[in-house]
């Protein structure tokens, strides 16, 4: 039986919940955009090339990525190859300050779950399904969410289950006390992932 594929708001969804088609679609679209950028600003300086990539190409690689963040190495590598090519184009062999796409996708997932946890109206359907665990151990923070056991990879690596697992491992200092301030939370998550910040567990 052939899989059923639909496209909703630019996201390719399959009936088996695989994100392979979405990743392939994103990679192809990003390559086309990058080749266009490379032709147009080929003689531009480093800053111009970098701005062109982060403005015109990277948003394609990250559109809706909080929900379809891949876990298979081949899909992750396919996305990374686009940014690696852009890095060489903009910076040559020099160092770049760009975050990895994997880090940026993880940050996006954490921010989405943060909005759901704090009652953002757009995430109400998910918020209603988030429950506190039966008990907490000493190293747990007070905002821990009950995990769900899944047998299939599509369940284990779904947005909700994967994000809950990462959320429960966040230090208390990253979650903070300013609930509802997504911008500050995002900044703390980024610093944690890049190793710039040290937070109390």
Domain-embedded: residue 201: no
At 136 the pLDDT is 84
At 197 the pLDDT is 55
Residue 91 reports pLDDT greater than 80: yes
**Residue 45: both structure tokens together:** 């300086």
pTM of the model: 0.87
Domain-embedded: residue 47: yes
- Quote the CA–CA distance of 104 and 114 in Å, as a whole number: 15
Domain-embedded: residue 185: yes
- Quote the CA–CA distance of 116 and 59 in Å, as a whole number: 23
Final residue before a domain boundary, out of 62, 95, 128: 95
Say which residue, 125 or 198, is predicted with more confidence: 125
* Residue 113 shares a structural domain with residue 153: yes
**Residue 54: both structure tokens together:** 């982060």
Domain-embedded: residue 83: yes
Write out the residue range of the structural domain in which residue 165 sits.
102-194
φ/ψ (deg, to 5) at 64: 70, 15
Q: How many CA atoms lie within 13 A of 160 on its CB side?
A: 17
* Residue 71 shares a structural domain with residue 120: no
Domain-embedded: residue 143: yes
- Quote the CA–CA distance of 133 and 112 in Å, as a whole number: 20
Domain-embedded: residue 200: no
Q: What is the pLDDT of residues 27-49, one digit of tens each?
A: 999 999 999 999 999 999 999 99
């Amino acid at each position: 039986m052939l899989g059923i594929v639909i496209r909703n708001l630019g996201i390719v969804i399959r009936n088996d919940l695989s994100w392979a088609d979405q990743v392939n679609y994103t990679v192809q679209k990003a390559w086309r955009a990058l080749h266009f950028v490379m032709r147009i600003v080929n003689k531009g300086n480093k800053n111009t090339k970098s701005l062109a990539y982060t403005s015109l190409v990277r948003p394609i690689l990250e559109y809706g990525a909080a929900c379809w963040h891949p876990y298979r190495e081949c899909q992750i590598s396919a996305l990374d190859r686009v940014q690696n090519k852009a890095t060489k184009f903009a910076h040559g062999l020099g160092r770049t300050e760009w975050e990895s796409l994997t880090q940026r996708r993880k940050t996006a997932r954490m921010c989405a779950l943060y909005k759901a946890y704090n009652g953002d109206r757009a995430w109400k359907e998910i918020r209603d399904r988030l429950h506190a665990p039966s008990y907490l151990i000493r190293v747990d923070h007070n905002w821990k969410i009950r995990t769900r056991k899944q047998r299939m990879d599509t369940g284990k690596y779904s947005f909700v289950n994967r994000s809950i697992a990462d959320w429960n491992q966040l230090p208390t200092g990253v979650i903070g006390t300013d609930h509802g301030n997504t911008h500050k939370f995002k900044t703390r998550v980024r610093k944690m992932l890049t190793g710039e910040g040290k937070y109390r567990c």
